[in-house]
Amino acid sequence: MTYERRALSALELPYAQTNTISCGTFVLQGSLEVPTLAAAFQALQREFPVLAGHIAIGADGAELVAGDTDASPVFVQEQRKFTPGDVHLKLQPLHQLSGVLVVTDGDRHQTTLGVNHAVADGTHAAFLLLRLWEHYTCLIETGQAHPAARNPLPSSPSQTAQQVGVLADGPPPRGFGEIRSNGIMPTANDVGGELFDFCRVVVDESTFTRVRHHAKAAGVSVHAFVSGVITLAERRTLAGVRADAVVPMGVFSPVDLRSRFRPAIGSAAVTNFAGASRVTVNVTAASDPIAIGRAVSAQLHSDIEDTSVHRDLFGTGDHEPGTAETAAPIRISNIGLMPEPALPSNLACRDFHTSSHVDMNAVRALIALSPPGESLPALMGMHYHVMSFAGRLSIEMRGVPGSVPVRVADAIVSDILAQLHTQADAMIDLQQLAAHHGE
């Protein structure tokens, strides 16, 4: 049989080389029919054959190859306790590009779809995860998966850019210049395990509702406000810096570009299609998170308007001349609202979280080969993922082991929680004051 194939683009290749796996996880409670979920995954692979594919290395370089959708998929089942972030699908890109992991503890099930980032970025992977559960529920209710046509290989970013008329030339995106950060360069010995360090802030529905109202009253989006909170928490936990010192800090905001075009680009039509906005903000320990958020938001809109975000997608210069960076920016990905999965009546969804993992052997080798004293900002600091699910706010933090001391990460989590509850309480005070004046 001849399988569809195409060359991996320069933007996709690094994810294959580092075996970066993007994971989306639903925690379910109730009666899960595991063989049916395996059948649903096979239906998903028939619909999107790239998920059954692999990376092939030939004389002309690396190629993305669609797979045999009749072959047995990577489907792993475990019985154990579980916590968010403890997901590790042992996929090898020369053989597999996707897999499902089910971890069961009593009547609770941590169900994860993992896809190599070369094939699917966060937006793409979330779409596939939701589609998996549509197939499952349809199988439970009708005995058959959703009728679906076979999809071609997803386009590369450059192919999609040509189709929609995005230009990859122009001045390079601005760099951050001199910034400060909690991120430190890990040593090869720090990277001893196979998973990223992971911690999480979850805010209940009532508190999150007040936070949203507070952001709206201040005229900023929730993402801008949370970006300000995170940046201020990072600033307050910097070691050896006076509280009143003005410190430049970089904020890096990935931007999915699919919805920026009309008609919008389908989530699964392209493997990766996100650029980024960069801004440097001057922060003291007493700065207003709303003001920080406004600065982040203003720069983001400007970068979209002048196509800096689009040029970032193609890497036409990560830095302006003379602005080489030695500190890590604060990376904040706005996942947004994650819909609840389609489920049969005997299953309930209790939680959602994301995770990712890479080939840590490659990370260790990269560190070991770096000249003494050299900093690699991509390996330093925490990457934040901000999302809402079932009315709750979730802020996930993950990073290379050793890139942020554990005590610092704990202090950041505590500061973020304190700020969010303070802002929520301030909204209660404003509502009570408004009610008092209305009497």
The string of pLDDT tens digits covering residues 5-32 is 999 999 999 999 999 999 999 999 999 9
Name the burial class of residue 123, with classes exposed (0-12), middle (13-18) and buried (19+) by CB atoms within 10 angstroms of its CB. buried
Is the pLDDT at 71 greater than 70, yes or no? yes
Q: What is the pLDDT of residues 156-213, one digit of tens each?
A: 998 998 888 776 566 666 778 889 999 999 999 999 788 899 999 999 999 999 999 9
Q: Is residue 357 part of a domain?
A: no
Nearest alpha-carbon partner for 85 in 196, 174, 243: 196
Cα dihedral 156, 160, 165, 169, rounded to 10, equals: -20
Contact between 102 and 37 (Cβ < 8 Å): yes
Q: Is residue 351 part of a domain?
A: no
- Residue with token string 């933007």: 11
Is the pLDDT at 316 greater than 70, yes or no? no
The radius of gyration computed from the CA coordinates of the chain, to the nearest angstrom, equals: 22
Domains in the chain, number: 2
* Structural domain ending residue among the three candidates 105, 135, 154: 154
Q: Is residue 235 part of a domain?
A: yes
Strands 330-337 and 383-389: parallel
Peptide bond connecting 263 to the previous residue in cis, omega within 30 degrees of 0:
yes
Q: Which of 224-228, 232-236, 321-325 has the lowest mean pLDDT?
A: 321-325
pLDDT of residue 170: 62
Q: Which domain holds residue 54?
A: 5-154
* Distance between CA atoms of residues 300 and 294, nearest Å: 10
Contact between 94 and 19 (Cβ < 8 Å): no
Q: Report, as an integer, the average pLDDT of 74-86.
A: 95
Q: What is the pLDDT of residues 340-375, one digit of tens each?
A: 999 999 999 999 999 999 999 989 998 998 888 888
What sign results for the dihedral spanned by CA atoms 117, 119, 123, 125?
negative
Nearest alpha-carbon partner for 13 in 108, 93, 110, 96: 93
Same domain assignment for residues 169 and 142: no
pLDDT of residue 169: 60
If phi > 0 it is left, if psi is from -120 to 50 it is alpha, else beta; for residue 115 that is: beta
Same domain assignment for residues 203 and 320: yes
Same domain assignment for residues 135 and 24: yes
CATH at residue 94: 3.30.559.10
Q: Is residue 349 part of a domain?
A: no
Which residues in 126-272 belong to E strands, given as ranges?
197-203, 247-256
Same domain assignment for residues 211 and 329: yes
Q: Is residue 356 part of a domain?
A: no
Question: What's 150's DSSP letter?
Answer: P
Band of the pLDDT at 428, cuts 50, 70, 90? Answer: low
Same domain assignment for residues 236 and 145: no
Band of the pLDDT at 307, cuts 50, 70, 90? Answer: confident
Q: Please tell me the pTM assigned to this model.
A: 0.92
Same domain assignment for residues 174 and 143: no
Is the pLDDT at 73 greater than 50, yes or no? yes
* Structural domain ending residue among the three candidates 137, 154, 171: 154
